Structure formats: C-alpha cells, structure tokens
Amino acid sequence: MLPSFVRDAYNWSWPVVHSRYVNWYALSSLEIRQDWKTADYLGTYCGGIVASRSRHGHLQPLPWPWMNGRIHKRRRRYIEEHDRNAKRPQNLHRTVIGGVATHRQCQPYAHSDHEYDCMTNHDTDTLVSAGWVETHLEEFQADDPAYRLLEVNNPTVTADSEYTPYEEGHIPGATFFDWDADLSDSTTRDLLDKAAFERLNAEAGITEDSTIVLYGGGRVPNWFALFAYWEYKYYGHEDVRVIDGGKPYWVANEYPLTTDEPEFEAQEYNARGPFESIRAYQSDVEQAIDSGVPLVDVRSPAEFTGEVIAPEGLQETAQRGGHIPGAKNVPTTSVLNDDGTFKDADELRALYEDVGITEDQSVITYCRVGERSSIEWYVLAELLGFEDVENYDGSWTEWGNRIRAPIETGSAD
C-alpha cells in the first residue's frame, strides 16, 4: 500500500499529473520507510514526487492508468539496451507527479542562511541545484553508499582559472577524482576500461545503485564533471546527477565548504555496458560527413576557425588548426548563464536551431579531447531530449593529427 501522501498527491493533483518518462515499474509490496531523507524507493524531485526503484523491495510492472505521459524514444531505447542482460528490472524512467511536497525536500537546514527552493530551469532529475545538495549533506557524508558526491577536475587545467582546489575546500562528503589520473588511461589515451572503472568506484565506496552527484570547476563550470557524467552513462550507471553551476556557483553563493576528506568503506561495483550508442569514433565521424549528420564543434570561435589550435597551456593538441568539414560552432560558454548555470530549454533550443540543428536529427559533438563536448552532449541528450546524440571523445586531438584527414578553416557557412 502506498504512503498516504502519495495517495493524497494523486487525489488532489490529478489536473497537474505529468510524466516526462513513463515508469514501467510501479511501487508494489515495498518495505515502507517514512523518513524522507532515507527513503530510497521514493524521493522528492524539485517540484514533485519521483517514483524510483527500491533498494529494499521489488518493483513489479503495473500500468497505472494515469501514467499516460509520452515515452521518449531515446529513453525507451536506452532502458531496453541497459536491461537486456539485467538480473532485475532497472528503473531508468522517472514518473513525476507535479507540484507535490516540494517543501519536504527543498527547505534549507536550520543553520543555513540560504533562501531557496530546489528548482532548476529544467524538467530532468539529472540536474540538481546547490540547494538540493545542501539539504542532502548528511546523506552524502554517511557510510551508507546510497548517496555519493564526487568533485571531478583536472588540476593542471584549472590552476589558472577561478577555482578553489579540492584540498583548500570542497563540499562536505565529496571525494575527489582527477579527470586525467583517475578517469582516463594514460597508456592507451582512452577511457578507463570496464575493470578499472569498477575498481575506481569500489575503492571510493560507490556501488552501481548509488545516487552519484558530480560537480567541478575549470575554465567553464563542470568542465570535467560532465565528462565524468558521460563516462558513467557509458558504463550504464543509472542514477547520476550534476550540480547546476558546479563548484564556482557553490563557492560564489557561500555554500558550506570543508577541508575534511571522507573515508568510506570499500564496496562492490558492477558496471554494465559499455554502451556504444552514446560514443562516436573516427569511423562514425567519417560516415557523418558523407551522410550529412550534424557535427557540433563546441570549442571557441578561435579554435574553430583555426586561428589557434588549443587553449593556451593544454597538453593534448593537434598539428593543424580548423574544424571537421560541415561542423557548426556552438561554443560551450554559449549554453551557460553568467552565473554558470544552464540556460533554459527555450534558449538552448534556439542556439542549435540557429545553426540548423533540431531534435529530429542525429548529432555528434566534439571539442579537443571530448571533455567540453560532453557538456553539450549532456545539453542535447538530457536537457533538450534529443534522441540520438554521440560524443566524439577523440575529437580534434585525434582528427587534427591524422594525415590526410579533411579539415576546413575559417568560419562556418
């Protein structure tokens, strides 16, 4: 039986019931936990209640008649691909009952001076506000691996940017991952392989069922954190989220920082995938050029035209400047507000429509080595709901170093 607040929510909120992604698995015969902060099967979501898979029970298929929102094709394909070999139903879709109980989760702690709610400008649970994170600091610092917070950066890149190093202050409960040393294989110049990815997470006290929240800094907020988000999705992690505005927003708005580094007990982590449907390789880009699939170059205009090869001080670079033939330039900075948070969906959609890119198309994003392009992969795939988006992580460092690879210089047509 569902808790009374869920039944009440349904009874009085029928006119505003909506679901962006239909949840095929409804709550059934669960071990009910009334504490909102520890209820794993039911959480609040910046404007509503989110039904999700229980860690303590089993979710049975139950086609509730009022869950009649549209099924996003990309998400449907995503859950089918992820669940093909799963031992139990995986809830990759979230059903949101709008306008219910936001006060339960969005209130600041008593010691906090912040006046906020947990809303972001986007209808997705993959993007959370700084306020939402502050209300969950106890969970992020607990031994229970249900919630884990990760600061992801590349110190060699962020040293000359407005960035507070991890050791000088980080969000309480956050573990530090170095994009280059921890999330990449320096020998193969590739992502971690599956075994190494599992080992990294297990040692950090993370399980495949953990809710992971990522944040970071860089020359743009969340520069490397969103690459980590994309890598987690590549290995099939279900519940990954990002703090809107990243570390710069957290620091600028005087949210709490600590120098204490957490020590969590090691866990077992079982990755899925890899899921190649979100990753593009050199051959995919060649086919895209031939077939007219849109390419989004997210680098600066100076890099795009070939005036410079890479931002000053970065190690990975190419022999030639320019861009992949036919690519459109949508610089990463253009998708962010002045405070580092994401622009709203209408503004973002207009940026891509201005260069002829719409959600009915397949899209490939690229940059220098795949980190900045993961930001716009996230924008297109998660914030705008494009059905088929791939990140070319080899990017210009691979393409610009290839002998006889076609390139263009100057501005786009």
Question: Is 277-399 a domain of CATH 3.30.530.50?
Answer: no
Residue 270's pLDDT is what? 97
> Does pLDDT of 202 surpass 90?
yes
DSSP state for residue 101 in the 8-state scheme: S
pLDDT at 280 exceeding the cut of 50: yes
The residue ranges of every structural domain in the chain are 1-106, 107-272, 277-399
- Confidence (pLDDT) at 412: 67
Instruction: Answer for the pair 257, 251: CB distance below 8 angstroms, yes or no.
Output: yes
Taking each continuous run of H as one helix and of E as one strand, the counts in the chain are 14, 17
134 band by pLDDT with thresholds 50, 70 and 90: very high
Residue % of the chain over a pLDDT of 70: 67
The helix (run of H) or strand (run of E) holding residue 158 is helix 155-158
Which pLDDT does position 209 carry in this prediction? Answer: 97
Confidence of residue 119 (pLDDT cuts 50, 70, 90): low
Question: What pLDDT does 308 receive?
Answer: 80
For residues 23 and 319, which has the higher predicted lDDT (pLDDT)?
319
Q: Which CATH architecture has domain 107-272?
A: 3-Layer(aba) Sandwich (3.40)
Range with the poorest average pLDDT among 35-44, 169-178, 287-296 = 35-44
User: Given this model, what pLDDT does residue 312 score?
Assistant: 67
Cβ pair 307, 388 in contact under 8 A: no
Segment 54-111, tens digit of pLDDT:
223 333 332 323 232 323 333 333 333 444 333 322 332 332 222 222 222 344 433 3
The dihedral region occupied by 120, where left means phi > 0, alpha psi between -120 and 50, and beta the remainder, is beta
Catalytic residue among 46, 106, 118, 367: 367
171 contacts 215 by C-beta, under 8 angstroms: yes
Q: Which helix (H) or strand (E) holds 75?
A: helix 73-83
Q: Look-up: residue for tokens 């959370």?
A: 128
**Residue 23, pLDDT score:** 32
354: pLDDT strictly greater than 90 = yes
Paired residues of 148 in beta bridges: 212
Closest CA to 346 of 383, 300, 391, 382: 383
Q: Write the CB contacts of 293 (distance below 8 Å, at least 6 apart in sequence).
A: 287, 361, 362, 363, 364
Tokens of 30: 């669960």
Euclidean distance between CA atoms 66 and 96, whole angstroms: 12
Strand partners, 176: 151
pTM reported for the whole predicted model: 0.72
Please report the pLDDT score of residue 179 as a whole number.
77
Q: Which helix (H) or strand (E) holds 328?
A: strand 328-329
Weakest mean pLDDT among 145-154, 201-210, 399-408: 399-408
Q: Is pLDDT above 60 for 317?
A: yes
Same fold, 107-272 and 277-399: yes
- Does residue 106 have an active-site annotation? no
- Mean pLDDT of the residues in the chain: 74
125: left (phi over 0), alpha (psi -120 to 50) or beta: alpha
DSSP sequence for 365-379: EE-SSSHHHHHHHHI
Task: Tell me if 281 sits within 8 A of 352, measured CB to CB.
Answer: no
